[in-house]
Amino acid sequence: MSIMTNTSPSHPRGRIEAPGLIVGVDTHKDFHVAAAVDERGALLEIARFSATRTGYDRLALWAEGLRRQVTGQVADVALTYAIEGTSSYGAGLVAALRPTGVTIHEVARPNRRDRRLRGKTDAFDAENAARAVLAGTVTATAKTADGNIEMIRVIKCAKHAAVKARAATMISLRHLIVTAPADLREQLEPLTKMALLRRCAGLRPGEVDDPTAATKYALRAMARRWLYLSEEITKHEAQLDRLTTAVAPQLREGCGIGPDAAAELLTVIGDNVARVTSEAALAKLCGVNPIPASSGRTNRHRLNRGGHRQANAALYRIVIVRMRLDERTKTYVTRRTAEGKTKSEIIRCLKRHLIREIWRTTRHLRTQEQTAPAAAA
């Protein structure tokens, strides 16, 4: 651990509701830089810790020591952490700190204006993270990543990687057929996709001593890779189907909500679902809340281009399916079209209605989280 004591006073940029000590952390792969700021905005100390279990313990002890120094009594000063990258390099630190009962906020990005004015260092980033919580501009609670939804997330990541690899394999295979020797190309080009894959997987190149044999060898390897990845994807889908149905059965009963869409939406919410405090907060998180864009006599709202884009895409896919298959949605689309709404405007409205449905069908998750501490006590 290396410590750098502040020699110049810092100016407060805001207040938090309760007095306390805020520790901002700029996370990296090999080390973390922490900056402690008190309730008045004064920078107390900056320290660097290794990104290991030992480093996490030392960071917690360092912060606890500073909290004792503030008033001399541990209970009088609340300790809050503002951590960058809680779902990447900061995940290990969050997991180590959570059992201590401290408040942990997720800081999305550094203050760009301050970075232009002061420059960029790890110490500045850590200090800015703490000040963002102090000013009230950062209120997001970090995900716990310790339950069923975390299981869904990691399996979905594995499936996504397999799907990308399978698509790349097919592109390479078709490109190789285009440049293959004429006699081999003429045999393979007329085949349908699955017939092509089965034919390529069964090729016998023999001794690889000419371009035709080498092409057959490469095509066989690619076809077998594609088939293996397809089998892997099927297994991932079965796991996602089982887990999402077990976690949110009412959500899965909705029209157009399959394992992939449910997994994406649940991953955005997180295991500690109480971090999303309202239906409006969920809409904002998914980027479907209208943004005011009024000026002068013009009073209007615009499309929200922020939020979690993968969750927004999942909502879009669900809405498109419902517009084709769900009778209630068809009736709604007909009525809104008669009112003069465009298709894109109707889709935005349907996304917002869908958020209301998701909020209602995941109510049991919030109830379980609220009753769990009481049961443990």
Q: How far apart are CA 289 and CA 312, in angstroms?
A: 11
Q: What is the pLDDT of residue 197?
A: 95
Please answer whether residues 36 and 130 qualify as being in contact, where contact means their C-beta atoms are separated by less than 8 angstroms. yes
Q: What is the pLDDT of residue 15?
A: 40
Give the DSSP H/E element, type plus range, for residue 141. Answer: none
Q: Burial of 372 by CB count in 10 Å (0-12 exposed, 13-18 middle, 19+ buried)?
A: exposed
Q: What is the pLDDT of residue 253?
A: 93
Q: Low-confidence residues of the chain, pLDDT below 70?
A: 1-19, 71-76, 110-111, 368-377
Domain segments of the chain as ranges: 2-135, 148-247, 251-370
Would the pTM of this model clear 0.75, i.e. be above it?
yes
Q: What is the pLDDT of residue 215?
A: 94
Nearest CA-CA partner of 59 in 88, 19, 87, 25: 25
Q: What is the pLDDT of residue 370?
A: 52
Cα–Cα distances in angstroms (integers) from residue 368 to residues 33, 236, 363, 373, in the given order: 36, 27, 9, 9
What's the CATH code, domain 2-135?
Answer: 3.30.420.40
SS3 content of the chain, % helix, strand, coil (to 5): 60, 10, 30
Cα–Cα distances in angstroms (integers) from residue 115 to residues 45, 165, 207, 275, 337, in the given order: 20, 38, 61, 29, 47
